[in-house]
Amino acid sequence: MEYLLLLLLVIMTIIFGKIGTRFGLSEVVGQLLSGIFLGTSFLNVVHPNDLIHLVSEIGIFLLMLNSGLESDLKEMKKYIKASSFIACMGVLLPIIVFPITFLLLRYSIQVSMFSGIVFSATSISITLAVLAEQKKLATSIGSIILSAAVLDDIIALVAVTLFSMFIGGGNLGFSDLLPLLAFALGILLRKVDFSEKIGYIGTKFGNWFFYPAFFGSIGLEVAVQGLNNKLVAILIFSILAIITKFYGSYIGARVSGLSVNMSNAIGSGMISRGEMALVIIQIGISSQIINDDTSSEFIVAVIISTIIAPIIMKPLFKKV
């Protein structure tokens, strides 16, 4: 029965992902909505189990491995000054603003500190799609955003690993270290001759099975019914997710000497949280930093920021 439920989850998640892209949304958003639809929030036919958890862990591993394989350190060095300023400011603002906001809303110190790490991450997949659509992927702005996002994600992964080890109650297991290790492995494997083949095979298996299982399983954790009294908080988190990353990255770009139009475009390109924030949320759940109830608020805010990001990006990219 577990195998049939897993298959149902994967098939429906792939379908929802394709529908999402048809409506101009990110594929990840569609996949998350699939899990919400199949889980306790609506149909209540698929629930998290050991098999789904195992396949999701493999999905995280492949996702981070492929992220490492796609991180060209030589290309990043060309724009190291700009990308470093952008990444640091894009991380610094959320890490300061979110914990303060969460504390004011009477969340625990542990959850408040963790929120800063979650919203400091950047998802590059949606930004890359918009850059490709406007034929700016191979330009300087594309390289700068990609480099800054990679640095962002390295900082966030290291931060969540250290946080889990020293502050999260010591509940960090090997599976929680896996995203960081897989990312590092991907960067190392770029040096071998068959790295492109590894990336191609990993992406194929990921896109058609493991990624849908991972993103769908996260949607299963969301209980929409329990969010009625948290709508104001979610709205605040979503607005802050957009503002802190946009202005943090904008300031970093301006400090590094980039033009206003370029800085605006880069700021918008760093807004989306998507898969990277979801990986960090999953680490938080497994290491018991946050519970399923709190994670729903994080996930919904991530979904909202991921939906809004391309809407902001498209007109600003056209001005560059």
Q: What is the percent of the chain with per-residue pLDDT over 90, rounded to a whole number?
A: 37
Mean pLDDT of the chain: 86
- Find the helix packing angle between 274-286 and 125-133, rounded to 10°: 170
User: Which domains are assigned to the chain?
Assistant: 2-318 (1.20.1530.20)
What pLDDT score was predicted for residue 241?
A: 95
Quickly count: other Cβ atoms within 10 Å of residue 224's Cβ: 14
pLDDT exceeds 80 at position 132: no
Q: Which of 264, 320, 308 is nearest to 86 (CA)?
A: 264
Q: What is the dihedral of CA 272, 184, 251, 27, to 10 degrees?
A: -10
What pLDDT score was predicted for residue 158?
A: 87
Band (147; pLDDT cuts 50, 70, 90): confident
DSSP string, 43-60: T------HHHHHHHHHHH
What pLDDT score was predicted for residue 34?
A: 93
pLDDT exceeds 70 at position 166: yes
Per the model's pLDDT, the better-predicted residue between 102 and 157 turns out to be 102
Cα 217 to Cα 95: distance, rounded to the nearest angstrom? 27
pLDDT exceeds 90 at position 233: yes
Structure tokens at 66: 């492929």
Cα 283 to Cα 280: distance, rounded to the nearest angstrom? 5
pLDDT exceeds 70 at position 113: yes
Q: Tell me what the mean pLDDT of segment 119-148 comes to.
A: 78
pTM of the model: 0.82
